[in-house]
Amino acid sequence: METATGFARVLEPDSSRGWHYYVFQKYSVWFCGHLYNHKDARAALANWPVLGSSDDVARYLNGLDGHYALICEMQGRIVAAVDPIRSLPIFFARYQGTTWIAEDPERLLVCARLDDVDSESALALAMSGYTIGVRTLFRGLEQLGPGEFFFADAGGTPRRLRYHRYSPWLVQDDDDAVYEKRLGDITLALTERMVNQADGRTIAVPLSAGRDSRLLVSALAQVGARNVVCFAYGLAGNYEAEASQKIANYLGFEWHFAPFSIASQRRFWWSEGNARYQKFADSCCSTTVVHDLPAVQDLLDRGVIDRRTIIVNGNSGDFISGLHIQPPVSQGLPDISHERRIGIIVATMVKKHFRLWQGLATPENDETIASQLRCELEQLGLGEVAVEQAHGLYEYLEFQDRQSKYVVSRQRIYDFIGLEWRLPLWSRDYLDFWQSVPLRLKRGQILYARMLDNRNWGGVWKGNDWKFARRVSPDWIRWIVRPLAMAACAPFGRSAWHSFERKFLSYWTDLLAFQSIEPYRRIVMDRRGARHLVAWHTEAYLQRKGLGWDGQSRCR
């Protein structure tokens, strides 16, 4: 079934993907996701500015706080929108003078008869795991970016507009203590709101040794939530799982472990269930993320959680709090021209996130990527940016592409299984707060760490008992192979050791065992310079699209 208005048509969303259909007096709305500031999505959507302008629509969307996508249709108009982080994607394509809109890119590829690969986007995905901007792997297939909406009137050309932009260059200059208090208060407020909306349902948190998931469970304990289940997964005996259990036990929360092994992960990867998931989660713009899919399915099968459970993970507190700002950008880039500053920002982004394969790190490829990134910055129309705001441009580039495509695609796991989810560390309150924080408090997560230590929610932050050092597993690698290899590499320097460890040992020590999608022999014999497991997953993704590892050649 399809619906049409003027020069645009909507392919009716698939209700099995969590989409709901609401009919009002003058319009209808397809909606998927949840709203933080409205317990009932239907009631919120009943206030749609039916006869308003595109500016009215933008103001309405800017008043919604949540993770959602929607398509509204009324006489003579279609509006489609995604939330400020694009947690649920919407795609569109033009065919024979009509713009087609859908939540599933594959349906548009068939409908609009698109099969021409965008070579620049394919290269970007091969080098990083995601495309740049609103482009996808296929020419003619585009997507709404974070905070964007599609506006089509019967009498005008369909337009893609913006109602929200994460702008981490809009820094303020409050006292450090003011920032710390605001961060703590905002975090507790959004946690209380989440618990109230859960209305007694179980909240399940994938808990690791890191700050983000520990923040969630400690804040839940602080506000008095009790119906909380924590879980960890990975190789048996790994330090992350041991830390997770210790934190959960101390807070009085139920804890469960889903064991992975190289054999189990290989079976999962080649299973019919994973094949269905890969098709379900395919966005034509990023490698699919499979992290905790086997773990969540295991918890469901064992009855630890049920279909009413809400999954809450810590994406992406490390990014938004400043951990990803790389030197030299993290030093502020003073005393240089604006053009040179932009050049350094772009070059740093390329070096950090476009190095899945060392064999693709050629000057020509780097310039192709840099050109796309520069174009994305130019579209902001900001002109010259002050020195103290330069880091914000770097953060913006990562937010627009890596975070809102690759990182957020983890949520498709829960959609696939049919579970609700929340991303409290990416709520509007958090976005608005963190875009105002200056570099001095983001560098090294200074503000984030200080607030957590000083508040010490649940008593799981201060003291050496809550500092978890990374420990290599399994024991035979840790106590036998690794020391011998370190000694053999010692004469050649630290970099030689790290290269050896990454190439020959990470297959066995990766906590998720996800390199097992390939035979060990193929990985160690490979000469293309894989950075980590995402490189192999990206190659597999491109193969499913009929492309080679470089995104350019065709699979044999």
Round to whole Å and give the CA distance between 279 and 297. 17
The pLDDT of residue 555: 63
Residue type, position 352, single letter: K
The pLDDT of residue 1: 40
The pLDDT of residue 6: 53
Q: Which residue has the tokens 């975090």?
A: 187
Does residue 482 surpass a pLDDT of 60?
Answer: yes
Looking from the CA of 419 toward its CB, the CA atoms found within 13 Å total: 26
Q: Which residue has the higher pLDDT, 497 or 218?
A: 218
Does residue 276 surpass a pLDDT of 50?
Answer: yes
Residue 316 phi, psi dihedral angles, 5° rounding: -130, 70
Q: What beta strand segments (E) does 432-538 contain?
A: none
Q: Which residue has the tokens 């820094």?
A: 171
Does residue 150 surpass a pLDDT of 50?
Answer: yes
Peptide bond into 158 cis (omega under 30): no
Whether 433 and 188 have beta carbons less than 8 Å apart is answered as: no
Identify the band that residue 39 occupies on the pLDDT scale cut at 50, 70 and 90: confident
**CA-CA distances (angstroms) from residue 79 to 4, 26, 69, 472, 474?**
12, 14, 11, 51, 53
Task: Give the residue among 176, 193, 163 at the shortest CA–CA distance from 58.
Answer: 163
Q: Which residue has the higher pLDDT, 552 or 305?
A: 305
Peptide bond into 316 cis (omega under 30): yes
**Where exactly does CATH 3.60.20 map onto the chain?**
2-162
Residue 258 phi, psi dihedral angles, 5° rounding: -110, 105
Identify the band that residue 155 occupies on the pLDDT scale cut at 50, 70 and 90: low
The pLDDT of residue 487: 92
Round to whole Å and give the CA distance between 493 and 286. 36
Of 183-197, 258-272, 327-341, give the lowest mean pLDDT range: 327-341
The pLDDT of residue 523: 92
Identify the band that residue 250 occupies on the pLDDT scale cut at 50, 70 and 90: very high
Q: Exposure of 425 by Cβ count < 10 A (0-12 exposed, 13-18 middle, 19+ buried)?
A: buried
The pTM of the full predicted model, rounded to 2 decimals, is: 0.94
Classified as helix, coil or strand, 247 is helix
* Mean pLDDT value across residues 466-483: 89
Round to whole Å and give the CA distance between 237 and 259. 9
Round to whole Å and give the CA distance between 451 and 32. 34
Q: Containing H/E element for 143?
A: strand 141-143
Does residue 271 surpass a pLDDT of 90?
Answer: yes
Round to whole Å and give the CA distance between 161 and 157. 12
Tell me the per-residue pLDDT of 294-304, one tens digit each, with 9 for 90 and over.
999 999 999 99
* Mean pLDDT value across residues 173-197: 95
Does residue 2 surpass a pLDDT of 80?
Answer: no
Whether 196 and 36 have beta carbons less than 8 Å apart is answered as: no
* Mean pLDDT value across residues 309-320: 94
**Where exactly does CATH 3.40.50.620 map onto the chain?**
176-320+408-466
Domain 2-162 of CATH type 3.60.20: yes
**CA-CA distances (angstroms) from residue 252 to 148, 343, 387, 460?**
42, 50, 47, 12
* Mean pLDDT value across residues 89-105: 92
234: DSSP letter: E
The pLDDT of residue 255: 97
Does residue 156 surpass a pLDDT of 90?
Answer: no
Q: Which residue has the tokens 């773990």?
A: 295
Radius of gyration of the chain (CA): 23
Classified as helix, coil or strand, 71 is strand
- The CATH number of 176-320+408-466 is 3.40.50.620
* Mean pLDDT value across residues 97-107: 92
Quote the mean pLDDT of the chain. Answer: 93
If one counts every other C-beta atom within 10 angstroms of the C-beta of residue 162, the result is 13
